[in-house]
């Protein structure tokens, strides 16, 4: 089955009512037939649900769909995207380990390093995503994994997944890719050799700004290593959110097609405007990483970042002049959203960390929605 069909037709459980659309299994726990059934379930000798922190049919359906859509053997759904990232690090890293992380990652991902990994004796170095030659010098005998985002938030840096996965295999480390901006529809990191793909399902997977969620997709062996953290520490996805997200996946392909179409048109328009200093959009032919982007992505995605020649002051004026576009920290919504990363999503970083991640004070991030493109352009009063 093709992507669109899988996203709609993969359904795990039906009740005895023969419902067409998947029901929500809004139950915190499950009953056992008898004492022996209970014992067998707890002993892992029988398949079944015990408690929704461990497994739940609505959550399982979302997990099965995500794994199938991204070519992974299995998936763990989590309460948020950050829970997916934290569960992965907490499960795969031990005191004394070292990790490499791209400088261009989501603000809260940085905070996990500084606030938690450091105090547990896990060390890390940041790599320049666009300068692979420098990476080898940072590899240590205890380097366990490399973590990156492509396209990155908010600079939209593109990292060559095939080359990076070859680098990781050579140095015997796992490659983890935050695939949030691309979604499984536009990019399949595992097909390029990544070991784990991570999502904030809060963004395009929901796509309508309603619920939070996250997903970890990998092979069975790695998922088995992460699952006990889920079960015991409990950052599990709620059945309601899983139900919303499974339904959302049914329209992911068609939504992404329009996000990409609108974004490319707006990026092209921005680039031609005399007040714009530069535009970051992976599928603009002028983009220095256009070749890699078109090799590993089906289309450029719905995110654009740009800076006006007038810098921060001109950027603030543009933000305050809008009438329709939402000023919000979220992204990947039907509604177009504008953000100023330096004073919001990445404000907890030091100015040096922001500079290293390519987040200048004047950078504006635009999450292009599904309104008519003419109305979005009309609201960007340049
Ligand atoms: C939003 C985001 C996250 C975190 O996801 P939450 O669902 O907000 O916890 C992680 N990575 C990227 C790239 C994001 O944009």
| 268 and 241 assigned to the same domain | no
- Domain end position, chosen among 187, 216, 249: 249
The pLDDT of residue 16 = 80
pLDDT band of residue 361 (cuts 50, 70, 90) is confident
Mean pLDDT of the chain: 95
* Angstrom distance (rounded) from CA 236 to CA 76: 9
Same domain membership, residue 233 and residue 202 = yes
Distance from residue 257's CA to the centre of ligand 1 (Å): 21
258 in Cβ contact with 370 (< 8 Å): yes
Please give the average per-residue pLDDT across 148-152, as a whole number. Answer: 97
My answer on whether 225 and 310 are in the same domain is no
pLDDT at 309: 92
Assigned token pair, 330: 């979220």
pLDDT at 346: 84
Q: Which residue has the tokens 């939209």?
A: 156
> What's the pLDDT tens digit per position in 306-334?
999 998 899 999 999 999 999 999 999 99
Return the percentage of the chain with pLDDT > 70, whole number: 99
Q: Is the pLDDT of residue 59 over 80?
A: yes
Q: Does 61 lie in the same domain as 24?
A: yes
Atom 4, ligand 1: residue with shortest CA distance: 81
Residue 335 CA to ligand 1 center (angstroms) comes to 18
CA of 310 to the centre of ligand 1 (A): 29
Query: How confident is the model at residue 18, as a pLDDT?
Result: 85
Q: Is the pLDDT of residue 288 over 90?
A: yes
* Ligand 1 geometric centre to CA of 39 (Å): 39
pLDDT in the model for residue 359: 87
Cα gap 284→268, rounded to integer Å = 7
Domain end among 249, 270, 301: 249
Atom of ligand 1 lying closest to residue 153 CA:
13
User: Has residue 289 got a pLDDT over 90?
Assistant: yes
Which pLDDT score, from 0 to 100, does residue 350 have? 86
Q: What CATH number does residue 330 fall under?
A: 3.90.1150.10
Task: Indicate if ligand 1 lies below 6 Å from the C-beta of 149.
Answer: yes
Using pLDDT thresholds of 50, 70 and 90, give the confidence band for residue 356.
Answer: confident
| pLDDT higher than threshold 80 for residue 12 | no
Measuring from atom 5 of ligand 1, which residue has the nearest CA?
81
> How does pLDDT run across 172-181, given as a tens digit for each residue?
999 999 999 9
Q: How many whole angstroms from 352 Cα to the centroid of ligand 1?
A: 22
CB distance 78 to ligand 1 below 6 Å: no
Burial of 205 (0-12, 13-18, 19+ CB in 10 A): buried
CA of 82 to the centre of ligand 1 (A): 6
> Pick from 205, 223, 249: which residue ends a domain?
249
State pLDDT tens for residues 93-125: 999 999 999 999 998 998 999 999 999 999 999
Q: Are residues 189 and 168 in the same domain?
A: yes
Pick the residue with more confidence: 269 or 356?
269
Atom of ligand 1 nearest to the CA of 84: 9
Spatial neighbors of 232 by CB under 8 A, at least 6 apart, are none
Lowest mean per-residue pLDDT among 191-200, 225-234, 356-365: 356-365
Q: Is the model's pLDDT at 278 over the cut of 80? A: yes
Do 244 and 332 share a domain, yes or no? no
* Domain range for 24: 3-249
Say how far apart CA 274 and CA 301 lie, in whole Å: 24
Average of per-residue pLDDT across 57-71: 96
- In this predicted structure, the answer to whether residue 167 has a pLDDT above a threshold of 80 is yes
Instruction: Tell me the pLDDT band of 259, cut-offs 50, 70 and 90.
Output: very high
Packed helices 57-69 and 239-249: angle between N→C axes, nearest 10 degrees? 30
pLDDT of residue 101: 97
Residues 235 and 299 grouped into a single domain: no
Q: Is 339 in the pocket of ligand 1 (CB under 6 A)?
A: no
pLDDT at position 280:
97
Is residue 71 located within the same domain as residue 99? yes
- Number of domains the chain is built from: 2
Task: Residue 143: name the closest of 112, 115, 175 by CA.
Answer: 175
Local confidence band at 265 (pLDDT 50, 70, 90 cut-offs): very high
- When pLDDT is averaged across residues 277-286 and rounded to a whole number, the result is 97
- The helix (H) or strand (E) run that includes residue 365 is strand 363-367
Atom of ligand 1 nearest to the CA of 213: 7
Q: Is any ligand 1 atom within 6 A of the Cβ of residue 200?
A: yes
Nearest to 215 by CA among 194, 231, 237, 193: 237
CATH of residue 49's domain is 3.40.640.10
State yes or no: pLDDT of 11 exceeds 90.
no
Residue 341 beta carbon below 6 angstroms from any ligand 1 atom: no
Q: Both 243 and 283 in a single domain? A: no
Handedness of CA 307, 335, 287, 164 (dihedral sign): positive
Q: Whose CA is nearest to atom 1 of ligand 1?
A: 200
What is the average pLDDT across 72-80? 98
- Residue 218 shares a structural domain with residue 257: no
Q: Are residues 65 and 212 in the same domain?
A: yes
pLDDT of residue 348: 84
- Looking at the structure, do residues 78 and 42 belong to the same domain, yes or no? yes
pTM: 0.96
Residues 249-278, mean pLDDT to the nearest whole number: 98
């Amino acid at each position: 089955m093709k992507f669109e069909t899988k996203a709609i037709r993969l359904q795990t459980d039906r009740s005895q009512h023969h419902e067409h659309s998947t029901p929500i299994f809004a139950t915190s726990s499950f009953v056992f037939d008898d004492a022996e059934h209970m014992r067998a379930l707890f002993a892992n000798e029988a398949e079944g649900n015990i408690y929704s922190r461990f497994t739940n049919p609505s959550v399982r359906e979302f997990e099965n769909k995500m794994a199938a859509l991204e070519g992974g053997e299995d998936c763990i759904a989590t309460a948020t995207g950050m829970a997916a990232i934290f569960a992965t690090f907490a499960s795969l890293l031990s005191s004394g380990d070292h990790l490499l992380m791209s400088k261009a990652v989501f603000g809260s991902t940085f905070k996990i390093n500084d606030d938690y990994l450091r105090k547990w004796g896990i060390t890390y170095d940041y790599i320049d995503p666009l300068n692979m030659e420098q990476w080898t010098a940072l590899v240590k005998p205890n380097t366990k994994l490399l973590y990156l985002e492509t396209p990155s938030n908010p600079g939209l840096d593109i990292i060559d997944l095939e080359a990076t996965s070859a680098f990781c295999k050579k140095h015997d480390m796992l490659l983890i890719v935050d695939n949030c901006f691309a979604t499984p529809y536009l990019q399949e990191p595992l097909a390029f050799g990544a070991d784990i793909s991570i999502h904030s399902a809060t963004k395009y997977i929901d796509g309508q700004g309603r619920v939070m969620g996250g997903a970890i997709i990998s092979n069975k062996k790695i998922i088995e290593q992460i699952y006990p953290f889920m079960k015991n520490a409990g950052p599990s996805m709620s059945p309601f959110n899983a139900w919303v997200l499974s339904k959302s996946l049914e329209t992911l392909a068609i939504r992404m097609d329009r996000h990409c179409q609108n974004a490319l048109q707006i990026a092209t328009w921005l680039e031609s405007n005399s007040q714009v200093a530069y535009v970051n959009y992976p599928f603009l032919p002028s983009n220095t990483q256009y070749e890699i982007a078109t090799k590993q992505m089906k289309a450029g995605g719905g995110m654009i970042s740009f800076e006006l020649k007038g810098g921060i002051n001109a950027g603030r004026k543009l933000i305050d002049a809008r009438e329709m576009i939402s000023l919000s920290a979220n992204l990947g919504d039907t509604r177009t959203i504008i953000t100023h990363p330096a004073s919001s999503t990445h404000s907890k970083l030091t100015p040096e960390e922001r500079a290293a991640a390519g987040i200048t004070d004047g950078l504006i991030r635009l999450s292009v929605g599904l309104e008519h493109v003419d109305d979005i352009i009309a609201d960007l009063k340049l």
